[in-house]
Structure 1
């Protein structure tokens, strides 16, 4: 590589006219569509990174099976040989940035264009289209996520998983659920190199001695790795849980049918009055998504502390502290430097939070959380459980070991599930809040909302609501007045839906305005006016 660098250094006195500028228009043909398996038909197409990568969702009408077909611009043999040479040059020439950069892809693209501009003649003539393709692949492989980079660009994908060599990569699609892709790794070396790259991007180490890694990738994506055949006979396996930069807002979840407007307004009122909430559900039911959307209803200015193993929550509040657990730095099971959820929950109490949010409770941290609720702090969390009865059993047994007398401190428990509904002649997966329970006592639950599967509606019942009775005593309003307030907030949420105000920051700004000027905002909403949302909770 050094000889190549010295040899090419002699060309530096040449003035190369080639320069890929932003304003220059080069017609790059899209990738040719991949042949579709017999019996399948295309149901949806969309670009991932125009014009280099597209996807086609295909389905077998007889079996209902879906497949995710990735179409990506490939390099021809000549382009591939130039690509291999330019890759060596880029690795040798590109210097580390002198200061911290926020966008490594942009930095790489700018530096790579300069180097290609310098060495283009020595590498042989190629049309501009080929250079664009080469730069795309270089960016993908050096600063991107390699062959799975197009999948990481797809906003519809929640999870990416590879089960081993010569096995298709699977994705969890927001619309089509778990579907097979046409991408697979054909050798142990290729897959191992890919995973080592991902682990290094996360700032961690993986080897045969330490084959299990749980880490956070750039962009806060969650990575889980089982390396080589030490613990799995099929070879290296990995799963990536993608982090959503623009998380679902409460308006998004209402539009999707997960919540109803009335239910969201009810939670909004309860959270204003320091209610504690637990979200129950199975794997991929949407627990964290629901928790994040509900947390955005908390009053601006409240001191919020979130505690997670990996960063998944994303709140618009300015007064928010995010705490993350840390794995041990020691070898084997020494535990040196480990920071657990239990440690973080204990530490958070010294910060005097108004609301403490634990991403998922499953151990001793639950005990400390309930102690915090007993001292008047607000609290929110998720837990793996299919229903309230199984959740109570888990809470009252080791390792959580919550005393039955403490269970009512968790005021509201909502159960969320993934359901399959037939709509427009097609059966698809949806997420629905199945029930909302108020905990009156250890064995006394009051259902305030229940999902009706036939109508696909949430039915409310506030007749025996202990939460509204408690708020009524605290604020000096009658239950009738509180129900009227829920209806007013329901109107505000409906107004946001009508105007397509859905970004979590925009929704938070309107909610902040309502907290500050409820009467004026409601009057504008009823009159069909516009609300100038100036109380944005957290700077972009």
Structure 2
């Protein structure tokens, strides 16, 4: 007896959707948080005195001290990628380089690039299928860090305790000014000129400026209000590219803070308030890093909200809690050599500001001919 058997269709594995993969990536991040590196060992001679998260669970700050020498070290502790993860990361960055397009008008660039980076990571994960031993959440962290973030210094930019980040050239440790430990070195070093130059170009572009061997000095404001000063390659610095970032404090210093810290007494604060109320002329003088801008911001909180205030700066640093406030910023020339086409100086802005009928004029820095106005 012959039997006829119907051949059944081969059972197909259920396909993963992009939503499934994104949930998997989020789940990986949660697992990484629970199992975040507990076996950290400080360098020989150092002991850990403090640690805190910068970006859970991927980056952590560890403050190390050497009891014998008294040296303090700021250690950036990021979860490292494996060799396979680094390979996948490199391929995804190449895809981003070729496929990423400028954001549409009216769309927040940061959110746009974050969304596109996640889309490409998920698509690449779909194409590869299951990859045991590979953390896609970790890869996504590094992709976002190096595209919409600040690259290798992103953990430092996330630390609210850091006020200043300084890179003095290739092969030199990056220093930070910590609120509790002041200037201390980190474990972050740029060992190649290409790597440091690439970061310099990235930071300058994030600030909306241009840097090149023809224009090797740039002073700009990064997203978030952080002040950036760079020199490019060895045009003006013998050690190669350098940069300094003075971070903008998210919670501005007020006159109450200055009284609590003992910077000024209540009597001096009251006296300054009286001078401001009567629109007296004043100067805030101090060495670099003394807190001149912070003091100006604190004094500005004493201004009556209804006053018309005009601020004039080379780089916009002042953040006034006022509505009736005009912020004017100087502009360098577009010419080369002795030609100065389109330059707008602080003195030009001071003359313009007088036509605004201001109650108060605040000049960020007085270094040139704009100082003549003070003595007229």
Give the RMSD, CA atoms, in angstroms: 2.4
Paired position in structure 2 for 1:91: 97
Q: Determine which of 267, 270, 282 is the counterpart of 1:265.
A: 270
Distance 1:150 1:199 in 2: 18
Paired position in structure 2 for 1:517: none
Shift in Å, 1:242: 1.7
CA contact (8 A) 1:345 1:369 kept: no
Paired position in structure 1 for 2:79: 73
CA contact (8 A) 1:31 1:53 kept: no
Could you report, residue by residue, the CA deviation over 1:377-414 in whole angstroms, capped at 9, with x for unpaired residues? xxxxxxxxxxxxxxxxxxxxxxxxxxxxxxxxxxxxxx
Structure 2 unmatched ranges of 5 or more: 1-14
Report whether the alignment pairs 1:212 with 2:214: no
Report whether the alignment pairs 1:327 with 2:332: yes
Distance 1:109 1:210 in 2: 31
Aligned pair in 2 of structure 1 residues 370, 88: CA closer, same or farther (>3 Å)? same
Paired position in structure 2 for 1:20: 22
Paired position in structure 2 for 1:241: 246
Paired position in structure 2 for 1:306: 311
- TM-score normalised per structure 1: 0.62
Between the two structures, name the one with larger relative contact order (CA 8 Å, sep ≥ 6). Answer: 1
Distance 2:37 2:333 in 1: 45
Secondary structure at the aligned position of 2:315 is classed as: coil
Matched positions, count: 358
Could you report, residue by residue, the CA deviation over 1:136-190 in whole angstroms, capped at 9, with x for unpaired residues? 1111111111111111111121211111111101111222111111000011111
Report whether the alignment pairs 1:130 with 2:132: no
CA contact (8 A) 2:175 2:184 kept: yes
Paired position in structure 1 for 2:70: 64
Shift in Å, 1:129: 7.6
Report whether the alignment pairs 1:275 with 2:280: yes
Q: Determine which of 216, 223, 232 is the counterpart of 1:227.
A: 232
What pairs up with 1:97-496 in 2 under 5 angstroms? Answer: 97-102=103-108, 104-126=109-131, 130-371=135-376
Shift in Å, 1:21: 4.8
Distance 1:54 1:325 in 2: 39
Report whether the alignment pairs 1:30 with 2:32: no
Secondary structure at the aligned position of 1:280 is classed as: coil
Distance 1:43 1:14 in 2: 45
Paired position in structure 2 for 1:398: none
CA contact (8 A) 2:114 2:148 kept: no
CA contact (8 A) 1:224 1:239 kept: yes
Shift in Å, 1:332: 3.0
Aligned pair in 2 of structure 1 residues 136, 269: CA closer, same or farther (>3 Å)? same
Distance 1:124 1:91 in 2: 23
CA contact (8 A) 2:311 2:363 kept: yes
Shift in Å, 1:47: 1.3
Shift in Å, 1:41: 2.6
